[in-house]
């Protein structure tokens, strides 16, 4: 049985509202466990300087781990520079480093992990879940990624002649993003009303700037505003659960979208915890979502981890087209649109035979994104 340590990015720092973010990495952990691996979760906490406050965060994080079968299988540390963690918050240093020594693989999602920590593992694999963006950041000198043994990517065009971005001189191996089918059962309910999504309105990478002529705003706000008129083109209710502030510009944007016929909720109402996020997805009729402009610019043939949760639940997805794909379908269960009329037509097609589209959605998840199959490929690529 292989021992695999996964190193997610920014989960413990986002416990209040990060239910969906947590699921991104849990899908990998569950897939690996389904393949018989002994899985540990390695989490970097941005220490507050208040030991009681940090202990409370670790305790809350531990409760999330307990609920999903990872009780006692996690390590929480604070950053200490390039060579080593400053402090181990759970468990102690000796126990944590004993896990590192016996681990067969570190599966790393934290791109800027400390090189000294990375060096503690006999085998390392970087997982790129921001295809196109990650390569852009590296090539523009905006991100320093320490060397890994293997480089995995969820972007279908990364490292291929079809890519509109550099490969950074790295040998990228392709995997598909996973969904744990046992944790996301088929949830058919024809009474579900709204197509929904959960999203940031702004983002940490709001601008793409490389100093060589590439300069554009990169957040969901830009693309959703381009589809503001969609509710006037369809009878299908559309709801956005957005991470919005109470600042004037966000209040104005929310009001404008409501005026166009969108239902707007704050994401904290529906995704504060992993269970709330899952319930919201499974009570939706389907997903409607746009993507960041970088996905359109890079044409990375990307599909979001969130869409996989909808698909596995038997919820059809209508999502913005991110480029030609060798396997992503469009026309039943999943619809990939470029224009407002295409999006409106897709919603009508779904509702014309809703039950069939729900069953096809689940079949797409089973065929292409089963976490156990993804985990098997990860292990084959990373450990051979």
For residues 241 and 171, membership in a common domain is answered with no
The token duo for 170 is 């790295």
CATH classification of the domain holding 41:
3.40.50
For residues 51 and 151, membership in a common domain is answered with yes
Q: Is 190 part of any domain?
A: no
Q: Is 184 part of any domain?
A: no
pTM: 0.96
Q: Is 374 part of any domain?
A: yes
Give CA separation, 226 vs 321, 360, 376, in Å.
Answer: 14, 29, 40
For residues 27 and 172, membership in a common domain is answered with yes
- Please give the torsion angle defined by the CA atoms of residues 91, 97, 102 and 104, in that order, rounded to the nearest 10 degrees: 100
For residues 210 and 294, membership in a common domain is answered with yes
The token duo for 223 is 């693309």
Q: Is 189 part of any domain?
A: no
Mean pLDDT by 10 residues, the chain (384 residues): 96 93 98 98 91 95 97 94 85 96 98 94 97 93 95 96 94 98 98 97 72 76 96 98 89 95 96 97 98 92 96 98 93 97 98 98 98 98 94
Q: Are strands 238-243 and 207-209 parallel, antiparallel or unpaired?
A: unpaired
d(C-alpha 73, C-alpha 78), whole Å: 17
For residues 100 and 217, membership in a common domain is answered with no
Distance of CA 316 to the CA centre of its chain: 18
d(C-alpha 349, C-alpha 234), whole Å: 11
For residues 199 and 174, membership in a common domain is answered with no
Q: What is the structure's pLDDT at 79?
A: 87
Q: What is the structure's pLDDT at 210?
A: 66
Cβ of 306: how many Cβ atoms within 10 Å?
A: 23
d(C-alpha 381, C-alpha 384), whole Å: 6
Cβ of 219: how many Cβ atoms within 10 Å?
A: 19
Q: What is the structure's pLDDT at 213?
A: 63
- Phi/psi for 234 (5° steps) reads -145, 155
Q: What is the structure's pLDDT at 334?
A: 98
Residue 232 is classified by DSSP as G
**CB–CB of 240/326 below 8 Å?**
no
For residues 163 and 249, membership in a common domain is answered with no
For residues 164 and 219, membership in a common domain is answered with no
User: Which residue in 199, 335, 224 sits closest to 277, CA to CA?
Assistant: 199
CATH classification of the domain holding 289:
3.40.50.2000
Q: Which domain holds residue 257?
A: 195-368
Q: Is 206 part of any domain?
A: yes
For residues 152 and 223, membership in a common domain is answered with no
For residues 157 and 213, membership in a common domain is answered with no
Q: Is 188 part of any domain?
A: no
The token duo for 354 is 């809703």
Q: What is the structure's pLDDT at 48?
A: 83
For residues 160 and 239, membership in a common domain is answered with no
Q: Is 185 part of any domain?
A: no
d(C-alpha 11, C-alpha 27), whole Å: 14
Query: What 3-state DSSP class applies to 368?
Result: helix
For residues 74 and 126, membership in a common domain is answered with yes
DSSP string computed for 62-129: HHHHHHTT-TT-EEEEE--SSSS-SEEEES-HHHHHHHHHH-SEEEE--TT--HHHHTTSSSEEEEES
d(C-alpha 42, C-alpha 128), whole Å: 17
Instruction: Report how many domains make up the chain.
Output: 2
Q: 337: part of which helix (H) or strand (E)?
A: strand 334-337
Residue 161 burial (C-beta neighbours within 10 Å; 0-12, 13-18, 19+): exposed
Per residue in 42-94, pLDDT (tens digit) is 999 998 888 999 999 999 999 999 999 999 999 999 988 777 788 999 999 99
Q: Is 183 part of any domain?
A: no
Question: CA angle, 273 as apex, 269 and 279 as ends, to 5°?
Answer: 70
Q: What is the structure's pLDDT at 205?
A: 60
């Amino acid at each position: 049985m292989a021992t695999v340590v996964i190193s997610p990015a920014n989960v413990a720092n986002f416990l209040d509202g990060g239910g969906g973010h947590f699921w991104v990495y849990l899908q990998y952990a569950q897939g690996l466990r389904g393949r018989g691996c002994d899985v540990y979760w390695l989490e970097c906490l941005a220490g507050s300087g208040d030991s009681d406050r940090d202990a409370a965060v670790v305790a809350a994080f531990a409760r999330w781990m307990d609920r999903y079968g990872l009780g006692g299988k996690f390590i929480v540390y604070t950053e200490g520079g390039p060579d080593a963690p400053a402090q181990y918050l759970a468990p102690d240093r000796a126990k944590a480093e004993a896990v590192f020594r016996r681990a067969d693989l570190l599966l790393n999602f934290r791109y800027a992990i400390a090189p000294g920590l990375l060096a503690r593992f006999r085998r390392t694999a970087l997982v790129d879940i921001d295809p196109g963006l990650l390569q852009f950041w590296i090539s523009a000198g905006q991100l320093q990624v320490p060397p890994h043994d293997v480089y995995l990517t969820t972007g279908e065009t990364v490292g291929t002649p079809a890519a509109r971005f550099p490969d950074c001189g790295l040998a990228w191996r392709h995997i598909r993003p996973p969904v744990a089918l046992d944790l996301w059962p088929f949830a058919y309910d024809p009474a579900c009303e709204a197509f929904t999504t959960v999203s940031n309105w702004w983002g940490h990478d709001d601008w793409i700037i490389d100093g060589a002529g590439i300069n554009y705003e990169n957040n969901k706000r830009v693309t959703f505003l381009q589809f503001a008129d969609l509710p006037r083109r369809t009878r299908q209710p559309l709801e956005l659960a957005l991470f919005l502030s109470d600042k004037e510009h966000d209040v104005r944007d929310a009001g404008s979208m409501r005026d166009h016929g969108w239902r707007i909720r704050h994401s904290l109402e529906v995704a504060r915890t992993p269970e709330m996020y899952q319930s919201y997805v499974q009570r939706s009729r389907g997903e409607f979502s746009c993507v960041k402009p970088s996905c359109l610019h890079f044409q990375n043939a990307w599909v979001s981890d969130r869409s996989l949760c909808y698909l596995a639940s038997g919820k059809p997805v209508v999502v913005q087209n991110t480029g030609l794909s060798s396997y992503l379908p469009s026309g039943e269960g999943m619809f990939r649109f470029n224009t407002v009329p295409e999006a409106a037509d897709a919603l009508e097609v779904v509702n014309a035979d809703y039950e069939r589209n729900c069953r096809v959605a689940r079949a797409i998840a089973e065929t292409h994104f089963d976490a156990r199959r993804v985990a098997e490929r990860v292990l084959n690529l990373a450990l051979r």
